[in-house]
Chains A and B, each alone.
Chain A
């Protein structure tokens, strides 16, 4: 059992930011938790799912983030403290509901946790969801360290109840996936939100009766509801004026005022210490970043002429501080602003770190930069070039996607009509790079592969004659592919959808999805069958095993020969890291060095040069391929690739 649920009040625990958030939610008495997995957010729901039965929670992995937020909202409407959890791109998916949710408001505390990924460490974008809080007019908070991650998560439920609206809590990778000391509080023992005795949805009141009427946004009430929403926002602003999560350290009249939030607070602290600027620079850390508290900001803005805004993401705080300064009028005085815009000194893209902030501080104050020993650095860089060969992202050893892309790529080449695949989001997005033989030619959002392919599949009247394919994972199929597939089928787009079904949401840690037989906590649930869903849409469905390469390639070639309408090929093989496969070898693999012809075999080292599984070793001295027994998981696929039969597989008894 995790310390997240067993830890007692006053105990100090080393908690990952995501676990601190989960603990904060437990201390607030959260009851309903829903969302969709996405790095760096996934651990929050998983941690709560693991303690759901002990703590009396309802926790689900929803089909997508919009549904997740809707499920959590239902909890709030029924007087249960509720939370939706997602990564930055999920907020886009949930955003249409979010607009209406924030317009009407909430009942029991409802917190939307978004964990974002500046620098795109495990994302295909640098999306910054904070703008939704401003655009849709609800409060936004950002923790500045691990203790605050817990404390502010718990407080967000109170804030939500105080103003009866959703609260966005924004974390970033260096908060969610970093760990630090956290002093624990008391988990809430009450099953219900304060003041209620059982879950109940009240709807008998009048249209505008927020706690007792129907929860409806409606044309006739838009103006009144919007005004009510803005009154709530005004109250939030007052609450934020005195929030203990806004802190200041430094002299009364600093030469430079740093305004920061989130993980950038830790970088700013470190950068000030690195340069020894504690007596010269003031550090205003904001935990409440929308709406900004104007009196608090005015007080600190007045104290310094130079303002340096240090934040993770787009210049959100930077723009809002500048706007607030303009609103303060002449009494605020002339300011010089520094940040990520208009030449910095911070870079306009990528995540920050202590060095980037220290460089910025040094540049603004005209100080020499703090640099490591240059001679050492030059030599270390030189040795890194020669001694640390580039380690590209790749599919795991035994990954079915490598086999699937091998088959798809080979079939498209044989078909020879410049066919291509529209990509989607998952481990298989790596089909766009060499480990997937550069097979994907478009890639955008969840479900977009099928949507874009649906469009390409209607271009024949313009002379378009390239075969069109889309790829989707099993979890992505349920998340956003289904509406795109409906569109393609109904409009008779000429395309093939390949569903690479590895039986779980593999990329984020193998969470279950609607096609799985279990819920987030491991309890039994009925599974929806992708093949039957497609058949019900009136589509031809073929199921094949990507590890049976020859037969599967023939199947795909046959599908390519057919024209008109949508065909679906389901490539079914479990992820090499799936609970059923992990640590188990199906085959013992060996290379017969007397048979391996290496560079002379005519295949130009198909196994190592082209297939490139990390479980293989190319020995350039012996000029032979070998199996890396530490890495190989015994899937047996490379034995199929080897044209001379030098790689052999023996079924493990």
Chain B
């Protein structure tokens, strides 16, 4: 095994989205890929009372040295993965900083306040501008749309993991992904997840 390296130690990663988008699976998948290679990973998950439709946020602390708090200190995220675009703003308001990087999925999931008409969902242009302003670098993916063509919108989460593997220096290549997904999923589901990972990785390569 090569010596463990990180650009920041601990490296603070947040995955955010809405219940039902596979947020928790993505964080555990990433965690296992890294623990397998000898890193310490601490994951804190915030999912409330409602199983679907509520904001869901996972904090990953990746370290060569030790376990860290399952909650990242305010203003200290290095990377935010937003499976739902408006959730990126909620997270950046607490954990963002001028150096933060963001990978975001373009597909909105409207909260009830928008469905009832009490609130307005931002346009794609507004979201793009806002994230340009709040991040040092950001990448957008039409992950849900692609996942729908592959038969299941939830695959968007795996595409985001693939995208992360392309732009971050975390050791998340296709080999360790394939090994880990084989351990976590029944054999029948492995090929479609490999395809989703490859699509996300290619999209940002």
Report which A residues bind B (CB closer than 8 A): 12-14, 16, 39, 121-122, 145-147, 174, 177-181, 263, 266-267, 269-270, 274, 353-355, 358, 370-373, 376-377, 379-381, 383-384, 386-397, 427, 429-430, 434-435, 507, 577, 605, 608-610, 612-614, 616-618, 620, 628-631
Contacts and interface: CB of A to CB of B under 8 A. Distances in A.
Contacts of A605: 117
B117 A577 contact: no
A438 B153 CA distance: 32
B48 A179 contact: no
A384 B55 CA distance: 14
A361 to B, nearest CB: 13
A217 B177 CA distance: 58
Contacts of B112: 391-392, 394, 434-435, 612, 614
Nearest to B145: A630
A384 B93 contact: yes
6 contacts: A266-B68, A269-B69, A353-B73, A354-B71, A610-B116, A614-B112
A14 B32 contact: yes
Nearest to B32: A14
Contacts of B71: 174, 267, 353-354
B115 A180 contact: no
Interface string B46-72: 111111111100000000000111111
Contacts of A373: 75, 97-98
A391 B117 contact: no
Nearest to A378: B93
Given A122-B49, A427-B50, 11 more contacts: A146-B67, A178-B70, A181-B41, A358-B73, A383-B89, A383-B134, A388-B87, A388-B93, A389-B113, A393-B50, A430-B50
Contact of B31 (A179, A274, A379): A179
A266 B86 contact: no
B67 A180 contact: yes
A316 to B, nearest CB: 21
Interface of B: 18, 20, 28, 31-32, 35, 40-55, 67-76, 86-90, 92-93, 96-98, 107, 109-117, 119-122, 126-127, 130, 133-134, 144, 148, 153
Contacts of B52: 396-397, 577, 614
A516 B64 CA distance: 47
What are the 3 tightest A-B residue pairs by CB atom distance, in nearest-first order?
A372-B75, A178-B70, A389-B119
A155 to B, nearest CB: 19
Given A121-B46, A389-B111, A608 B116 contact: yes
B45 A630 contact: no
B67 A389 contact: no
Max chain B Cβ within 10 angstroms of own Cβ: one of A12, A180, A370, A427:
A180
A6 to B, nearest CB: 10
A180 B92 CA distance: 24
A156 to B, nearest CB: 21
A396 B75 CA distance: 32
Given A387-B122, A396-B50, A14 B117 contact: no
Nearest to A382: B93
A390 B111 contact: yes
A606 B51 CA distance: 25
B120 A620 contact: yes
Contacts of A393: 48-50, 53-54
A617 B18 contact: no
Contact of B114 (A274, A370, A389, A630): A389
B69 A630 contact: no
Per DSSP, chain A at the interface is mixed
Contact of A270 (B49, B68, B120): B68
Contacts of B41: 14, 179-181
A353 B73 CA distance: 8
A630 B43 contact: no
Max chain A Cβ within 10 angstroms of own Cβ: one of B44, B52, B96, B115:
B115
Contact of B116 (A353, A381, A612): A612
Contacts of A145: 67
Contact of B117 (A122, A267, A397, A609): A609
Nearest to A352: B71
B49 A507 contact: yes
A383 B130 contact: yes
Contacts of B127: 387
B41 to A, nearest CB: 6
A380 B92 contact: yes
B134 A380 contact: yes
Contact of B115 (A353, A372, A395, A614): A614
A288 to B, nearest CB: 20
Nearest to B122: A387
A196 to B, nearest CB: 37
Contacts of B130: 383, 387
A614 B110 contact: yes
A395 B35 contact: no
A179 B28 contact: yes
B49 A266 contact: no
Nearest to A631: B109
Max chain A Cβ within 10 angstroms of own Cβ: one of B54, B110, B126:
B110
Max chain B Cβ within 10 angstroms of own Cβ: one of A270, A274, A389:
A389
B164 to A, nearest CB: 17
Contacts of A177: 44-45, 47
A623 to B, nearest CB: 10
Contacts of B90: 384, 388, 391
Contacts of B18: 391
B134 to A, nearest CB: 6
B190 to A, nearest CB: 17
A430 B49 CA distance: 9
Given A145-B67, A178-B70, A614-B115, A389 B48 contact: no
Contact of A380 (B49, B93, B144): B93
B73 A270 contact: yes
A144 to B, nearest CB: 10
A434 B118 CA distance: 13
Nearest to B107: A630
Contacts of A380: 89, 92-93, 96, 134
A631 to B, nearest CB: 6
Nearest to A122: B49
A39 B49 contact: yes
Contacts of B43: 14, 16, 178-180
Contacts of B73: 270, 274, 353-355, 358, 370
Nearest to A399: B52
A618 B114 CA distance: 7
A379 B133 CA distance: 9
A266 B40 CA distance: 14
Contact of A389 (B42, B86, B93, B153): B86
Contact of B74 (A372, A379, A390): A372
A394 B50 CA distance: 7
A122 B48 contact: yes
Given A122-B49, A377-B75, A387-B126, A14 B31 contact: yes
A367 to B, nearest CB: 15
B110 A617 contact: yes
